[in-house]
Amino acid sequence: MCLRTGRAAADLADGWTPEMERKFYQAILDIRKTPNLVDELFKRKDAVYAKVFPGYSPNEKLAPGTINFVIGPERQMELYEGYLKSAVGADTHLYRLYPRDFWMVIDPDKN
């Protein structure tokens, strides 16, 4: 089965029909006609960002059970952690994960 066929089969199994997909993409095209779309999106951004970016708005609580992560160089992590400590609380800690934390060991005899 080719990738495209497999993806289409998975969509159908999930209840995502071609008609639903067409309506979704048509709605995206239609929204471009909204007057002052950029201004409206700009007005909403702070409320949206505050729900997903820890520390964006100190008065906004993150959704329960969320796990957030950032990707960047160490200097950026240091600065962000410092910001979080001032915005969220002094006990806030930004944990680092490194590529070596996810090494996969491949047995060449089984490939």
What's the full length of the chain, in residues? 111
Q: Over 70: is that where the pLDDT of 51 sits?
A: yes
Q: What is the pLDDT of residue 47?
A: 87
Decide if 86 is inside a domain: yes
Q: Over 60: is that where the pLDDT of 111 sits?
A: no
Interatomic CA distance for residues 54 and 46, integer angstroms: 12
Decide if 96 is inside a domain: yes
**pTM (2 decimals)?**
0.51
Q: Over 90: is that where the pLDDT of 36 sits?
A: yes
CB of 11 within 8 A of CB of 21? Answer: yes
Decide if 49 is inside a domain: no
User: pLDDT digits over 63-105, tens only?
Assistant: 777 777 788 899 999 999 999 888 888 888 888 887 777 776 6
pLDDT band at 2 (very low <50, low <70, confident <90, very high): low
Query: What average pLDDT is seen over the chain?
Result: 84
Decide if 85 is inside a domain: yes
Lookup result for tokens 């934390």: 101
Q: Over 90: is that where the pLDDT of 22 sits?
A: yes
H-state helical runs in the chain? 3-13, 18-31, 37-52, 74-87
Return the minimum-mean-pLDDT range out of 26-30, 44-48, 105-109: 105-109
Decide if 92 is inside a domain: yes
Decide if 10 is inside a domain: no
Domain count along the chain: 1
Give the range of the structural domain holding residue 79, as residue numbers without chain letter: 69-101
Decide if 91 is inside a domain: yes
Closest CA to 69 of 96, 98, 47, 89: 96
pLDDT band at 1 (very low <50, low <70, confident <90, very high): low
Decide if 89 is inside a domain: yes
